[in-house]
C-alpha cells in the first residue's frame, strides 16, 4: 500500500525566511531564476504563462516584477540534471534511492559538499535552522491512483554534523488550483550556453577587413 505525503502537511504551513543571494544561479549553461521569486504562484497561474509541454514562457512576471518571457519552466529531467551537476562538481556519485512513483529521484549524503553549495546559490524557500530547503514545482503533471498530481523538486541542506543532506523529486496528489504554498516556488531557467554575436560585430567586421587590406597594399607599395 502506497503512502502519499500530503502537501499541506509537509510544507503548506512552513514559515519562510529569506537570505540575500544573487538574483540568479548559473549552472551548466543555464541561468536559473531564484525559486523564491515565484513563491505562492499556483500551477494554474504558471501554466497560463508557460507551455506545459515545452516549458516555454511567453508572459507573466515573478514576485520581483521580472518578466518570465524567454524563460523555461523546468521539468523533472531538468531538475535531475541540475542536482547531478552539483554532485558531479563535488566529485560524488550517489545511488538513487527512489522507490518508484511517487518518488522519481531521491539521493542523500551526510554532511555533503553539494547541498551547501546549492543553498549558497539558491535562496531557501523554507528556513528552519539547521534545515534549509529550496522547494519548487516543475511543469510535470502526473496521475497517481487515478488522481491528478504534480511534481515537486527540492534540495535540502542540514547545517549540522548529524545532518543528512538530500535532493529529491516527488509526485504528490493535488488539485492544480491548489498547487502553491508560501514556502514553494517554481523551477525556471533560460539557456545561456549559446551567446549570440551582437549585430554591431557583423557591421564592424567588413570595415576591419578593409582596413587590413589597405595596410597590406601600403606595405607592398613601400617594398
Domain residue spans of the chain: 7-198
87 pLDDT more than 80: yes
Averaged pLDDT for residues 162-172: 92
The most confident of the ranges 9-13, 14-18, 90-94, 97-101 is: 90-94
Q: How far is 116 from 131, CA to CA, in rounded Å?
A: 11
pLDDT (0 to 100) of residue 73: 98
The bridge status of strand 185-186 relative to strand 131-144 is: parallel
Confidence band of 108 (pLDDT split at 50, 70, 90):
very high
Buried b / exposed e along 161-171 (16+ C-beta atoms within 10 A): eebebbbbbbb
Confidence band of 58 (pLDDT split at 50, 70, 90):
very high
6 pLDDT more than 60: no
pLDDT (0 to 100) of residue 177: 63
pTM: 0.77
188 pLDDT more than 70: yes
pLDDT (0 to 100) of residue 206: 53
Amino acid at each position: 500500500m502506497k503512502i502519499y505525503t500530503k502537501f499541506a502537511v509537509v510544507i503548506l504551513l512552513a514559515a519562510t525566511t529569506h537570505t540575500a543571494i544573487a538574483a540568479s544561479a548559473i549552472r551548466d549553461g543555464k541561468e536559473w531564476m531564484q525559486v523564491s521569486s515565484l513563491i505562492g504562484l499556483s500551477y494554474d497561474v504558471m501554466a497560463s504563462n508557460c507551455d506545459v509541454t515545452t516549458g516555454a514562457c511567453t508572459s507573466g512576471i515573478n514576485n520581483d516584477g521580472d518578466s518570465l518571457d524567454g524563460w523555461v519552466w523546468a521539468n523533472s529531467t531538468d531538475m535531475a540534471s541540475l542536482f547531478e551537476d552539483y554532485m558531479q562538481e563535488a566529485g560524488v556519485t550517489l545511488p538513487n534511492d527512489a522507490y518508484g512513483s511517487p518518488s522519481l529521484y531521491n539521493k542523500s549524503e551526510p554532511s555533503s559538499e553539494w547541498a551547501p553549495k546549492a543553498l549558497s546559490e539558491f535562496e531557501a524557500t523554507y528556513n528552519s535552522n539547521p534545515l534549509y530547503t529550496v522547494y519548487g514545482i516543475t511543469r510535470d503533471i502526473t496521475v497517481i491512483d487515478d488522481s491528478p498530481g504534480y511534481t515537486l523538486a527540492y534540495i535540502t541542506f542540514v547545517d549540522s554534523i548529524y545532518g543528512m543532506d538530500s535532493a529529491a523529486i516527488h509526485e504528490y496528489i493535488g488539485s492544480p488550483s491548489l498547487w502553491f504554498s508560501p514556502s514553494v516556488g517554481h523551477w525556471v531557467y533560460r539557456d545561456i550556453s549559446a551567446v549570440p554575436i551582437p549585430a554591431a560585430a557583423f557591421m564592424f567586421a567588413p570595415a576591419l577587413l578593409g582596413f587590413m587590406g589597405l595596410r597590406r597594399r601600403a606595405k607592398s607599395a613601400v617594398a
